[in-house]
Structure 1
Amino acid sequence: MRRRSITRTSWIQQRVEAFVRAQRRSPKALRVLAEGDSWFTHPTALWKGKSVIGHLQAYRSINLVSLAAPGDTLARYPDPPNRQWALACNPDWLAGQTYDAVLISGGGNDVLGDHLQDMIKDKSRYSNRSGRELIITTRLQQVMDGIATNVGLIRKTINQHLGSETPIFMHGYSYAQSDGRQFELLGGLISFGPWIQDRLHEQNVTERDEQQDIVNALIDAFNDLLKALEARIENFVHVDFRPLLGPGDWDDEIHPNASARQRLAAHLRKVLTAYPV
């Protein structure tokens, strides 16, 4: 456990120090601290194109420190138990610098992750219902309540380290595709997923249209929550990605493809630079 903590401290320190050097070269760049899941880090293979974070880092107008890691859920983001915020905001490493904005990618694994099937009725027992009618609304509300709590804790964490005036930008994903596709590397020797279709099959939801209707309803519910939080939480901004992606914009069930990632990064850049900081 101690060795892992030292390693984490080391890589965060290296990124913060690189951020400080870059800011000295481009003092007018927007200073951004990002935390997130695989929507920020995908793909893991460089020959598959840049990640969303990679595209953002390529912009001269943005200087960014990323703490993102695939598979993260929102419960892992606040301090404690995750000390990454405190490390990334270490004043000794920042050497007089700070962050103008915080960028969050999170909640997708909470909504479409390991417990997706727990939110869906067994179709074999509810044959008179279809698509989104199979969502167990009480369990979905529990998930949304947990997300709202963790977003509030993230806001408190940012207030502690950077101040309440620092804006938080959080996106709501887009309509993932329940088509059973995996993300493959080396001709399929290495693969990840699928993430959605198998879990819906466990609940005997086998029709593709029904599966997609469920996914769309869950993504809409998540975006509705973020929109509501935008009205309740100071300097919290919901970024809506849904209009930007279509069914053909995906590498697999849940990750945008190369052209889509570039499009998402361009939109984030536009939103970040337009906000008064």
Structure 2
Amino acid sequence: MVVDGLYDWKRPRKRRRYLELKADAAYAGPVMVAEGDSWFEHPLYPDLLDWAGKDFAVLSLAKAGDTWSDMIDQDSEPPKHYSDGSLMGLIHAVADESNTARPPKTILLSAGGNDLIGQIVQCVYPYDPERSEDDYINHDEFDVVLGQVMTDYRDKSAELIRMGKIVLVHSYDYPNPQDNGPFIGFPLRKYRNIPGVGLMRRIVNQMIDIFSNELISLANNSNDKIHFINLRETIGTRDILNGPDQRLWSDEMHGNQFGYELLWKRLRAGIEAHA
């Protein structure tokens, strides 16, 4: 069952916490705005921003399932509001918050995963026993999808930098494919005949590394305005034969409460270094 409100039902609570910390004269930590997907707004488990909000003032605009296209559309004119009073749209919200007594200086972005996973079938060649296991990414398709993701990262980051903000981006961790998993396992098995999770892990790990390298390049060419935080090998693994510790995962793409806590510790270190 799909219930649209389920995908961001925690936003009002996160907003209340953000406003409480901003109003607290004793709070000396960073003030941040976050836009993203289910890594920032998971409907069933304490996500990265649930953890962040315990100690940091962070306004969440995130929604599970959002692609870059969704996030860009939310910056429509005239501006709209969420039911909790937050402005829809990253640029709208950052501009509005920048006119407050304690404006945000740091923007957290978690985007692109849904763009890629939503087109994973097109981006993978059908199984062929003669094909090298390192040659299953269909770059004619994958490079186009990733290219648009990176164009969106560059464009939005450039807008935020012009507004005087620092941008933090992160890698996704290596996924956890399952034979009948809805995001990776089922589509790759049904439509590409990929015969096991070992090969699936090899394919998606390569995708994560390529994506991460693009984000690293973006940060390296930003004049210290964009910073990359590496979350790979936190709950995921390069070990394609044995896979990750299943006790840290809720499904193929997301940690559970224990997994998100470990991911948060890595993300927190990056925030403390750069925010």
**Fold shared, TM-score > 0.5 on shorter chain:** yes
What secondary structure sits across from 1:32 in the alignment?
strand
**Matching residue's letter, 1:71:** G
> In 2, distance between residues paired with 1:92 and 1:146?
28
Identity %: 23
Q: Partner residue of 2:54?
A: 58
C-alpha distance 200-73 of structure 1, shift in aligned 2 (>3 A): same
**Matching residue's letter, 1:135:** I
Q: Partner residue of 1:225?
A: 214
> In 2, distance between residues paired with 1:155 and 1:36?
13
> In 2, distance between residues paired with 1:12 and 1:176?
26
TM-score normalised according to structure 1 size: 0.79
Matched, 1:99 2:99: no
What secondary structure sits across from 1:175 in the alignment?
coil
C-alpha distance 91-178 of structure 1, shift in aligned 2 (>3 A): closer
Q: Partner residue of 2:241?
A: none
CA offsets, 1:82-109, max 9 Å, x none? 5522442354795322112111111111
Q: Partner residue of 1:196?
A: 184
CA offsets, 1:196-255, max 9 Å, x none? 111111111122211111111111111111111111234111111113123112111110
Structure 2: runs of 5 or more not aligned = 1-7, 77-87, 237-243
Counting only pairs closer than 5 Å after superposition, residues 59-98 of structure 1 correspond to structure 2 as 59=55, 62-78=56-72, 81-82=75-76, 83-91=88-96, 95-98=100-103
Q: CA deviation at 1:24?
A: 2.1
Give the number of aligned pairs. Answer: 245
Q: CA RMSD in A?
A: 2.7
> In 2, distance between residues paired with 1:262 and 1:253?
17
**Matching residue's letter, 1:104:** L
TM-score normalised according to structure 2 size: 0.79
C-alpha distance 181-261 of structure 1, shift in aligned 2 (>3 A): farther
Bigger helix share: 1
Kindly indicate whether the alpha-carbon contact (under 8 Å) linking 1:38 and 1:70 is maintained by their aligned counterparts in 2. Answer: yes
Q: CA deviation at 1:172?
A: 1.1
> In 2, distance between residues paired with 1:214 and 1:91?
42
> In 2, distance between residues paired with 1:33 and 1:218?
28
Q: CA deviation at 1:80?
A: 6.9
Q: Which structure exhibits the higher relative contact order, with contacts defined as CA atoms closer than 8 Å and separated by 6 or more residues? A: 1
CA offsets, 1:117-158, max 9 Å, x none? 0011122xx331143312112222112211110011111331
Structure 1: runs of 5 or more not aligned = 1-7, 183-193
